[in-house]
Chains A and B, each alone.
Chain A
Amino acid sequence: DAGVIQSPRHEVTEMGQEVTLRCKPISGHNSLFWYRQTMMRGLELLIYFNNNVPIDDSGMPEDRFSAKMPNASFSTLKIQPSEPRDSAVYFCASTGLTDTQYFGPGTRLTVL
């Protein structure tokens, strides 16, 4: 299995632009998680889906952030409009029958 796939790996954008991060979970996994990691705040859970349904989005910082999971093999995290304070590494992770989280390589986002 290729593991969790994220794209792009790096994204540099200007403040005010829309940013879309993409994730393909491991085939057969039924839960998907989006995290944000910064030096100051560590690894923060933003939202997670179970069977494509958002279960807990209490970690989403504000309305500028939205996430979708249209099917079992694809999810997006969108930031519109982006701000410099959104700069971070964004990870996607998926779980199957156990609660072991399999993380993707992350997307490093820089908002100028």
Chain B
Amino acid sequence: SQKIEQNSEALNIQEGKTATLTCNYTNYSPAYLQWYRQDPGRGPVFLLLIRENEKEKRKERLKVTFDTTLKQSLFHITASQPADSATYLCALYSSASKIIFGSGTRLSIRP
């Protein structure tokens, strides 16, 4: 069956370090992948999209990679700040226009 896994439920890192979140998938051929941020009590907010033919995408301190061979996407936040603390969700879109969200990783940045 199709499955998406995000590396861990929670990740705690020191301010200023790079946070790396992982999204792995099986039995799935996504046309593209998105990353969202969700704060408590709010809906997810779109951050970045990366297509299957793209290796890397950047936006300010954010970087996403997509390896279709490993079936994995990595989401990096450089120079992390306490304000980056949130839950981050990956979402895969298949060619059949189906969307599946991962369960999310709760990121905490300590000062």
Asked if A and B bind, the verdict is yes
- Listed in ascending order, the chain A residues whose CB lies under 8 Å from chain B are 4, 33, 35, 42-45, 55-56, 91, 93, 98-106
Pick from A35, A56, A101, A103: contact of B98, CB below 8 A.
Answer: A56
Q: Which residue of B lies closest to A42 (CB)?
A: B103
Residues of A within 8 A of B46 (CB): 100-102
> Which chain A residues lie closer than 8 Å to B41 at the CB level?
105-106
Please, which residue of chain B has its CB at the minimum distance from the CB of A40?
B103
| A-B interface contact total, Cβ < 8 Å | 48
Report which B residues bind A (CB closer than 8 A).
Answer: 32, 34, 36, 41-46, 49, 89, 91, 93, 97-104
Q: Write the chain B residue with the least CB distance to A4.
A: B43
Q: Indicate whether A100 sits within 8 Å of B44 (C-beta atoms), given known contacts A45-B99, A45-B100.
A: no
Nearest-neighbour CB distance to chain B for A108, whole angstroms, equals: 8
Residues of chain B within 8 A (CB-CB) of A102 are: 46
Q: Report the Cα distance A93→B101, complex, angstroms.
A: 13
Q: Are B49 and A99 in contact (CB under 8 A)?
A: yes
Asked if B102 and A106 make an inter-chain contact with CB atoms under 8 angstroms apart, the answer reads no
Please, how many angstroms separate the alpha-carbon atoms of A20 and B78 in the complex? 43
Measured CA separation A73–B34 after assembly (Å) = 26
Docked CA distance A93–B42 (Å): 12
Find out whether the CB atom of A103 lies under 8 angstroms from the CB atom of B43.
yes
Contact of A103 (CB < 8 Å), options: B45, B93, B102: B45
Instruction: Identify which of A56, A99, A106 contacts B93 (C-beta below 8 A).
Output: A99
**Which residues of the partner chain B approach A4 to less than 8 Å between Cβ atoms?**
43
Instruction: Determine whether the beta carbon of B42 is less than 8 Å from that of A43.
Output: no
Residues of A within 8 A of B93 (CB): 99
* A100: contacting residue among B49, B98, B102, CB under 8 A: B49
Kindly report which residue of chain A lies nearest to residue B102, judged by CB atoms.
A42
